[in-house]
Structure 1
Amino acid sequence: MAAEIQNSNPTILNEADLPTRQRPAPPRKPGVYDGGIFAPAFPSPPHLSDPLAVSTYFSAESDSDDDNLMEEPIDEQEIYDLVSTISDPEHPISLGSLAVVSLPDISIKPSLPNNPDSPLRTVTVLITPTITHCSLATVIGLGVRVRLEQSLPPRFRVDVRIKEGTHSTAEEVNKQLADKERVAAALENGTLMGVIGKMLETCQ
């Protein structure tokens, strides 16, 4: 962590205006069977009380619906939802609210252009530091990379880079973020991983 805050007055976007599919679920209204004299006659299904129990409450049709949901492709909005709630290492504010990550700067493309039917995909996230000389740009990039590598299936390759023209040492930072050996060595640093862990605590 820096000894003093480098950008003490960053521009902050209203979180309610950020693009997302993640909406808080409405509170559940109490049902007629939630308690009272009906409770013993209507026990909870076993799959709710025992996570290892095999449920017989779902039909084959619902299983098919679940399969269709599982096959829904991961898109740029989902990637944004994964990384926008990461906290900035200097401020208790999300990367989305600081516009360090934004939806237009996220792309998903085939990893093998000559074989577009391959399931391999490359997720590219361009980062815009709040100031052009931010010394924590590499830490932010590592945080985004760790979050995506922990959340996405193995068929996704992660490419995190500083957006062109937004940082004075973008080329050097990008080399660090693209070098697998340097990234692996950095992630073995306990102090650095403590900072990244703190950044990821706010992820939804």
Structure 2
Amino acid sequence: MLDNPAPVVTLCPTTTDEPPSDGFDAADVLSIIGPIRDPEHPFSLAQLEVVSKDNIQVHVQPKESFGGGQRMQDEGRIRIVLKPTVAHCSFINHIALCIHARLQDYLPPDIHWKLDLGLVPGSHDRELEVVKQINDKERVCAALENPHLMKEVERCIDDDACIF
């Protein structure tokens, strides 16, 4: 039985009216994670509005060089707030794992990234428990090393749709 037998599907914008930014921003993150397929339906996370540009924040902190001229690696923080399609969504942990995997593959490597995933307040029955699980680094690393789980993650990730 499906968690959400009748999801609301929206059209994803293909262009933006905003001028290009000078750096990596929310639109770039959305272009990476938006094409991830929902585990339950043949639609992307962007089409289902599980992820949206308005719910993504990107901050990059440049690091200055000290004395010897060697520059320290810049630090970046990405905050993504997910909006499950139903309050009892049992796939939200799987979706979060897909986002972790996708970003690992496509984030600019010259920046040390920290990822913080959240849920729209009140959007899930087990909100606090889920947020704790999807941000647990050890749990995420263990899941990404599990061949069975990775097969399911790969099924949802469409690398051909990513522009990076």
Query: For this structure pair, what is the TM-score category when the shorter chain's length is used for normalisation?
Result: 0.7 to 0.9
State the match for 1:76 in structure 2: 26
How many angstroms apart in 2 are the aligned matches of 1:167 and 1:126?
A: 12
How many angstroms apart in 2 are the aligned matches of 1:190 and 1:197?
A: 10
AA partner of residue 30 (structure 2): Y
How many angstroms apart in 1 are the aligned matches of 2:117 and 2:147?
A: 22
**Aligned residue-pair number:** 145
Structure 1 gap segments, 5+ residues each: 22-71, 111-115
**Which structure ranks higher in relative contact order (CA pairs < 8 Å, sequence separation ≥ 6)?**
2
Structure 2 gap segments, 5+ residues each: 17-21, 64-73
State the match for 2:71 in structure 1: none
1:156 alignment partner, SS class: strand
State the match for 2:70 in structure 1: none
Give how far 1:19 is off: 5.7
State the match for 2:6 in structure 1: 9
Give how far 1:137 is off: 0.5
How many angstroms apart in 2 are the aligned matches of 1:162 and 1:185?
A: 22
- The structure-2 alpha-carbon separation of the partners of 1:193 and 1:20, relative to structure 1 and needing over 3 Å to count, comes to farther
Task: Please identify runs of 4+ aligned residues in structure 1 that moved more than 3 A.
Answer: none
Task: Decide which structure has the larger Cα Rg and report it.
Answer: 1
Greater fraction strand? 2
C-alpha deviations, 1:137-163, integer Å up to 9, x for none?
A: 100011111111211125222222222
Give how far 1:108 is off: 1.1
How many angstroms apart in 2 are the aligned matches of 1:194 and 1:5?
A: 20
TM-score of the superposed pair, with normalisation by structure 1: 0.66
Preserved CA contact (<8 Å) 1:149 1:158: no
How many angstroms apart in 1 are the aligned matches of 2:31 and 2:52?
A: 10
